[in-house]
Amino acid sequence: MALFTRPSDWPRRPSDCAPTDRPRNILLADPGFFQVEEAQNAHMTTGDGSLQQVDPAEAHRQWSALKSAWEDVGFEVEVLPAVPGLADLCFTANPTLVIPLPGGEREGWLARMLWESRRPEAALHEAFFQEEGIPIHSIPESAGFFEGGGDGLPHPGRHLLHCGAGNRTNPAAWEALAEKRPDMDILVYRQPNENFYHLDTALAPLDEETALYVPDAFDEEGRDLVHAAFPKAIPLKLEEAMNFAGNACCHDGEHVILQAGSPEAESALRERGFVPIPVETGEFLKSGGSVRCLVQGF
């Protein structure tokens, strides 16, 4: 089993892992029934403890602009239709984890979501990916909760997976995946900060050597692991991390789509040759989600 939590135990570095392709397609889901209906994470309530109020028309405008942003940078965008009762379906990062394999194939792993209200989303993803010819597998039920691409981030261009554990995904889920895929290195990060409840709110892989990351979202071992895997890691200041700059998404090694309003992150990206593309996802921030939560690359 190739699962590691400390850089000193990890015998390889990304350049030692087999090359993989980056995604060319993006799966989004229409936010037609998007709402904040229950407090699933620390972002979904206001100071007095009441639920955030979503403006559905504004949410739809923001999502349409995000869809155009992906198309403008050259991605093929597929859209799942909205389904009544599935308020979080638009967060397509979570119900599956699509892993690119050496040789160009991809495979999907179906989530077992913590919140019951989100569990029916998985069947819709399964049907979609089967239609696309991407095989879908499940982790044994005994491994517990597993929130797909929210907590599992493929390393850009390498057969290596970054994994968040202890919050929405049980450590046992990563152990089960490591048993099924002994050829893939799995790096597991603890998540001590409830504001960064999914790994994709704290770590945004950009290219083979670079990622945006939120130092406050990790313990010391986690930070060491980030630096071992991404020698050019860019730390985010807490204010911009709370604006979900760490939920940025880059699938081509160049264009970085991120929530608007993080000027330091944007200039750090420009200095390193990336092209930041700020978009407004304010309605989705009320649900604890932004750019990366709203896409599944495949």
Give me the residues that bind ligand ARG (CB under 6 A), please.
40-41, 88, 91, 93-94, 118, 150, 198, 200-201, 287-289, 293
| Residue whose CB is less far from ligand ARG, 43 or 181 | 43
| Residue whose CB is less far from ligand ARG, 206 or 294 | 294
CB of 9 to ligand ARG, least distance (A): 27
CB of 147 to ligand ARG, least distance (A): 7
Question: Mind spelling out the 3-state secondary structure of the chain?
Answer: CCEECCCCCCCCCHHHCCECCCCCEEEEECCCCCCCCCCCCCCCECCCCCECCCCHHHHHHHHHHHHHHHHHCCCEEEEECCCCCCCCCCCCCCCEEEEECCCCCEEEEECECCCHHHCCHHHHHHHHHHHCCCCEEECCHHHCCECHHHHEEECCCECEEEEEECCCCCHHHHHHHHHHCCCCEEEEEECCCHHHCCHHHCEEECCCCCEEECHHHCCHHHHHHHHHHCCCCEECCHHHHHCCHHHCECCCCCEEEEECCCHHHHHHHHHCCCEEEEECCHHHHCCCCCCHHHCEEC
| Residue whose CB is less far from ligand ARG, 17 or 161 | 161
Contact between 82 and 33 (Cβ < 8 Å): yes
CB of 11 to ligand ARG, least distance (A): 30
| Residue whose CB is less far from ligand ARG, 88 or 266 | 88
CB of 196 to ligand ARG, least distance (A): 9
CB of 296 to ligand ARG, least distance (A): 9
| Residue whose CB is less far from ligand ARG, 70 or 91 | 91
CB of 41 to ligand ARG, least distance (A): 4
| Residue whose CB is less far from ligand ARG, 116 or 141 | 116
CB of 42 to ligand ARG, least distance (A): 9
**Whose CB is nearest to ligand ARG?**
293
| Residue whose CB is less far from ligand ARG, 14 or 288 | 288
294 vs 248: CA distance, rounded Å = 10
